[in-house]
Amino acid sequence: MKDFVDNEFCTNLLNVDLGIANYDVHIGSNLMPALVADLLEDQTQNLVIIDNAVSNFVRNNCKNFEQLNCIELTAGKESKNFITLTNIFSKLEELNFPRNGKIIAIGGGVIGDVAGLAACLWYRGCELVHVPTTLLASVDSCLGGKTAINSNTTINAIGSYYHPSQIIIDIGFLKNLPARELKSGLAEVIKYSILGNIELTKMLGKYDYNDIIDPQNLKTLISLCLRQKVEFVVGDITESNKRLLLNLGHTIGHALEVNSIVNGREMLRHGEGVALGLIAISKISVEVGLLCQQEFQHIALLLKKFGLRTTVSPTLFACSRDQLIEKCVASTFKDKKRTSEVLRLILPTSRIGPCEIYHTSSRALIQSGIEYILENTQ
């Protein structure tokens, strides 16, 4: 999309060269009007898949947005399923959508995952553009090509790798995010710090929450995280070696997430699950002798500094402590990174990298990490 190269508001440009995919990431302010204008001028057909939490913001700031073909989805894991995917395909059929058409995903990680999978499958692949609207999606999930929906009991069980043609990150979306969503995104930022990003570590040490969410600082955070992610993804697109390290905090975090849906309501955000997962996995690392207690405490204090919980009550999950432990251990052993019954845990060895891949089949070890983050509520 030619408009972004010379756009006065686009202050950061990152080229992503993964070998099998090469695309640009545009990071700036007030980029959405140029995107919509470009889509309206485009001679090929397009479909916008947008998070309903940001649809009014886009309509109010982008002239003639209503002229675009559009599907609104509810933000949250309840949209990450076959029903949503089928509805998208029905819309594509209704539009007689061609293979050279363009799907534009405007939303958080769930929207990116579902829209990405739809783009991957429609005629075996049509063009995909990511427009992340949450901090978490901006610093992590928009880049790397992962697409997925959930099965009944397993997060990201059904998916593929499919890369966008470009990523457009408009900081304006982040200015309107609730504090809970911003803090959720900062969990992924802290993950990158623990993975060895020294510049991020300096920023997280220098600024408090109110300073770190300044738009200019957010641009810097996003750029640092995405550049680091490229380093992990290059040469390991399908996650068989170094890219596995990006799952730091996610193995137990996903187990908590999948069990946090109560009466159809999502009680834990993804980043909140990651933060708790970071504590649980760091405690396990202490137990196996890879992380010292002092470094563990530093990780916990960093999460607390930015308003992220490091413990959680079983009452949030509408079950007893023992029931939750049993459910979370079982969910952990469904993790996609496992080989047979052997888990591949990502364990920190210090507060600023490196991390190690640790193989275990010990349910007692996983249980100890989960028990540590649970408040003593029966």
161 and 281 within one domain: no
Q: What are the angstrom distances between the C-alpha of 125 and each of 43, 174, 203?
A: 19, 30, 39
In a domain, residue 214? The reply is no
Residue with tokens 């995917």: 85
Q: What is the mean pLDDT of residues 1-13?
A: 57
How many structural domains compose the chain?
A: 2
The CA-based dihedral angle spanning residues 52, 74, 164, 192, taken in that order and rounded to the nearest 10 degrees: 100
What is the structure's pLDDT at 75? 81
pTM for this model (two decimals): 0.94
In a domain, residue 187? The reply is no
Q: pLDDT tens digits, residue range 305-317?
A: 999 999 999 999 9
What is the structure's pLDDT at 266? 86
Q: What is the mean pLDDT of residues 202-230?
A: 97
Q: pLDDT tens digits, residue range 108-166?
A: 999 999 999 999 999 999 999 999 999 999 999 999 999 999 998 888 999 999 999 99
Q: What are the angstrom distances between the C-alpha of 136 and each of 58, 173, 310?
A: 19, 12, 18
Measured between alpha carbons, how far is 163 from 147 in angstroms, rounded to an integer?
9
Measured between alpha carbons, how far is 196 from 233 in angstroms, rounded to an integer?
15
Weakest mean pLDDT among 2-16, 230-244, 284-298? 2-16
Domain boundary (150, 177, 204) is at 177
In a domain, residue 360? The reply is yes
Q: What are the angstrom distances between the C-alpha of 323 and each of 252, 283, 330, 366?
A: 16, 21, 11, 15
Q: What is the CATH number of the domain that holds 50?
A: 3.40.50.1970
257 and 343 within one domain: yes
Domain boundary (156, 177, 198) is at 177
In a domain, residue 208? The reply is no
243 and 164 within one domain: no
In a domain, residue 357? The reply is yes
Residue with tokens 């300044």: 214
Q: To the nearest whole percent, how much of the chain has pLDDT over 70?
A: 96
Residue 25 CB-density burial (10 A; 0-12 exposed, 13-18 middle, 19+ buried): buried
In a domain, residue 222? The reply is no
Domain boundary (162, 177, 192) is at 177
Q: pLDDT tens digits, residue range 25-74?
A: 999 999 999 999 999 998 889 999 999 999 999 999 999 999 999 999 99
What is the structure's pLDDT at 357? 96
283 and 163 within one domain: no
User: Residue 378's pLDDT band (boundaries 50, 70, 90)?
Assistant: very low
Helix (H) or strand (E) holding 73: strand 70-73
Domain range for 294 is: 237-373
User: Residue 348's pLDDT band (boundaries 50, 70, 90)?
Assistant: very high
What is the structure's pLDDT at 97? 97
127 and 51 within one domain: yes
List, as one string, the DSSP characters of 314-349. GGGGTS-HHHHHHHHHHHHTT-TT-BTTBEEEEEES
